[in-house]
Amino acid sequence: MYDGIMLGVTAAFSLTNLTMVVAGCLIGTFIGMLPGLGPMSIIAIMIPVAIKIGDPSAALILLAGVYYGAIFGGSTSSILINAPGVAGTVATSFDGYPMARMGKAGKALAIAAIASFCGGTVGAILLIGFAPALSSVALLFHSAEYFALMVVGLSAIAAFAGEGMVVKALLMTVMGLIMATVGESALFNAPRFTMGVQDLQSGFSFITLAMALFALPEALFLVMDPARANQDDADKQIKDLKITRAEARAIAPVIARQSIQGFLIGVMPGAGATIASFLGYAVERNIASEEEQKEFGKGSIKGLAAPEAANNAACTGSFVPLLTLGIPGSGTTAILLGALIALNVNPGPRLMIDNPTIFWSVIISMYIGNVVLIILNLPLIPYIAKLLTIPRNYLIPFILFFTLIGAYIGQNNATELLILVGLGVGATILRFANFPLPPLLIGFILGGMMEDNFARAVNLTDGIQFMYQRPMTLTLLLIGVALIALPIWRRRRAKLSVADGD
Amino acid sequence: MKFTNRIRKTALSAIAATVLLAGPAIAADVDSIHFLIPGGAGGGWDGTARGTGEALTKAGLVGTATFENMSGGGGGKAIGFLIENAASNHGTLMVNSTPIVIRSLVGRFPHNFRDLTMIAGTIGDYAAFVVHKNSPIKSFADLLAAYKANPRKVAIGGGSVPGGMDHIVVAHAMQAAGEDPTKVKYIPYDAGGKAMAALLSGEIKALSTGFSEAVGMAKAGEVRIIGVTADKRNAAAPDAPTLKEQGVNAEFVNWRGFFAAPGLPAAKANAYRAAIAKMYATPEWEAVRARNGWVNIHNPGDKFVSFLEAQEKVIKSLMKKLGFL
């Protein structure tokens, strides 16, 4: 293995491959910043270029660079304009956007960049050290465990179920779960709740929903409430990247935990960056102290660092099943697999033996890519953050434009725009009524996967005994229940003790 | 489904192509083609249309190729568009594949392939049954024996919905083997890759998937192919037995091909067909084909019609039996 790593280091540091890393990262970051353009569409655009390059190592390094560049850049639109372009950065907007609203956009972007860097770096190191051994971890989970994992992920909604909001948050979650059932699922050969509308046959698209729930109501609120957009006082702070020592001490353990947890979740072919970010958010919120918990959803630095570290680590982790088993765990890695095959590379357990240069140079380049990304991004943050100081009569049309384009571009379907505006109006009304919208999106994203895995597990075991048949399933389910029950129990106890004091 | 016509690269046609290409600036056979892709960028339809367009233009058979992705309704939107705007779309070719037959049958599309002008089936993939390398099941007969003993204990997975292509292939094979296809315990996954992971993790006993997808994994030594729905063994995996040679008379081809607007003048349709027919002998097409691992299955014009009708008949009777119709 040591020889292989050395081979990879030599190959990765060649001039061509270094250029590829830098080019990939740059392209990925800048396109990824646009809401609606996720890594999947960017990689699809880049594939013809990669095939023209011909050399499989260089091509894959370029595509991998685009991939994590896009994840890196994707958090920018989540933080600045509340418009997550990829499901993996939804959790980033929970605390990143409130921070930007408080005039701490620069700090939010810096924390996101550092957390991403750490997540990606830890992921790359784990990949270098354990990739061959991890292929068995990738096959550990059955449908039953994936279902249990989604249940754990769903506990992230607790962050939005604050004082007097429990019922509202639960209502929104159920609403999200219901919306996830629209269209044809993977398991039933019948369209559900489409009301005969052909465009709903494939269900609501994630990007349309994310724009309708987050970006659109936010832009409308800025129009209706000029005070919200007034940031004259915050102008000095907005570019400020400085993270205090106390803050660094608070987020360091979060980043460390989530880098490892995120990586392991990314290794599972049925989970990926989105689940990793929600789980990271849920776990960190529920183990934080009561004081810190109140901050979550309102601009907590821990709540921002956790999903950012987790989703980058998970992206790196998703290369384990791709490179060692030839199994794509996500839509993006499926496209990467297609590109590899087109380049006459057959990923699988023999890749490391037959093509050690490709295998190791790609992994080493991920490490280099992360360094490149942080060097590229940190100096740019003050300028990117300054976008928010654009007067709102220019900024809001700009946000609306990208919101609409983002929803249209992925599908090339004009009906998406009608759905976007319709849902956007609905979401704005819900916000007026003080309903938290993130639980709806969490329910929507996790709901589809939860239902699929549940139905599969029921089908496989002819019943629901799968819940306790394997100890792993049971453990995960118990963790999920504990994460949901713990805060409720804590709060009740706090209330009781207050009552006693009276 | 025996109407598959494999194009072989013969030395003769290669020479003919060379002569053709060496000639002084021959004008393209077709000025331009606008490819309508019923799904998003990066999918199978997208790759087929763009690859075909690339080969046709590079080989000089078509002047220019443009591409448009129109997703919606699992492909239904593009079909509807082509039919409603037929008069203004004589320059458009839409890519499609086996699901157009299946989804029309279950009424998911208001139209079916007969409402379009069938240009040609161009490429295809066979289906394959795959098991884990350590599985006690070594042949299709072993799978059948396990199935006979207790069908509820033989979970067979696939990357499509119940009643979708992978399920129909399982039912087709079981029926051809004289078993009851309705007893199949079919476990659907939302992508072929996830179904493969489930096979490797031991969640399912066998997997119904595309042959080209199975070949890569079999070469890596992770899985064993126990049956291919082709009429004879394929050079890409000479060790993989066909179902036919194991006494199960089931053939299935997942084709991809091109359709044009209804009412397209015959001369125009034939020009498209001629350009596609010429494409097979060009090195440009061979490069695209090899890059993607496609199998040439050329069914032009009337042959395409009879191929689709035969496939529809088989699928219809199976889906009736399975209770989806």
* CATH architecture type of domain B11-124+255-322: 3-Layer(aba) Sandwich (3.40)
Any idea where the domains of chain A sit in the sequence? Answer: 2-495
Residues of A in contact with B47 (CB under 8 A): 338
Which residues in chain A have their CB less than 8 angstroms from residue B163's CB?
189
Residues of chain B with pLDDT under 50: 1-26
Question: Does the fold of domain B125-246 match that of domain B11-124+255-322?
Answer: yes
Which pLDDT does position A1 carry in this prediction?
67
Question: Would you say A155 and A277 are in contact if contact means Cβ atoms under 8 Å apart?
Answer: no
Q: Judge whether A201 is closer than 8 Å to chain B, CB to CB.
A: yes
What the block records as the tokens of B289 is 């084909």
| Best to test chain A binding among B105, B187, B223, B294 (most A CBs inside 10 Å) | B187
> What is the DSSP secondary-structure string of A180-229?
HTSB--SS-SS-BS-TT-GGGTT---HHHHHIIIIIHHHHHHHHH-HHHH
| CATH fold group of domain B125-246 | D-Maltodextrin-Binding Protein; domain 2 (3.40.190)
> Searching chain A, which residue's CA lies closest to the CA of residue B205?
A460
Question: For residues B273 and A111, what is the distance between their CA atoms, to the nearest angstrom?
Answer: 58
Integer Rg of chain A from CA: 22
Q: How far is A117 from chain B (nearest CA, A)?
A: 28
Q: Is the CB of A132 inside 8 Å of chain B's CB atoms? A: no
Distance between CA atoms of A479 and B204, rounded to whole angstroms?
A: 27
The closest alpha carbon to A140, from A261, A269, A258, belongs to: A269
- Written as one string, the DSSP assignment of B102-116 is HHHHTTSSSS-GGGS
Name the pairing type of β-strands B206-210 and B117-132. Answer: antiparallel
Q: Where are the domains of chain B?
A: 11-124+255-322, 125-246
Interface test with chain A among B153, B190, B211, by most A beta carbons within 10 Å: B190
Q: What pLDDT shows up at residue A498?
A: 66
For B72, the token pair is: 């919606």
How is residue A401 written in tokens? 């434009």
How far apart CA A199 and CA B72 sit, in angstroms, is 5
B196/A327 touch (CB, cutoff 8 Å), yes or no: yes
A44 vs B contacts (CB less than 8 Å): 41-42, 46
Check: CB of residue A365 under 8 Å from CB of residue A373: no
**What's residue B21's pLDDT?**
41
Task: Collect all residues of chain B within an 8 Å Cβ-Cβ radius of residue A342.
Answer: 291-292
Count Cα atoms within 13 angstroms, Cβ side, for A321: 32
How far apart are alpha carbons A465 and A469 in whole angstroms?
6
Give ipTM to 2 decimals. 0.84
Chain B touched by A186 (CB under 8 Å): yes
The CA distance from B316 to the nearest CA of chain A, in Å, is 15
A380: left (phi over 0), alpha (psi -120 to 50) or beta: alpha
CB A46 within 8 A of CB A89: no
Residues 358-387 of A with CB under 8 A from B: none
Chain A residue closest to B69 (CA)?
A412
Cβ–Cβ below 8 Å for A412 and B70:
yes
What are the per-10-residue average pLDDT scores of chain A (502 residues)?
Answer: 79 85 89 78 79 82 87 86 85 92 89 93 89 83 92 82 80 93 79 82 86 89 71 59 87 95 90 88 85 87 94 90 82 79 76 83 86 87 83 84 81 84 94 91 91 92 88 90 76 71 50
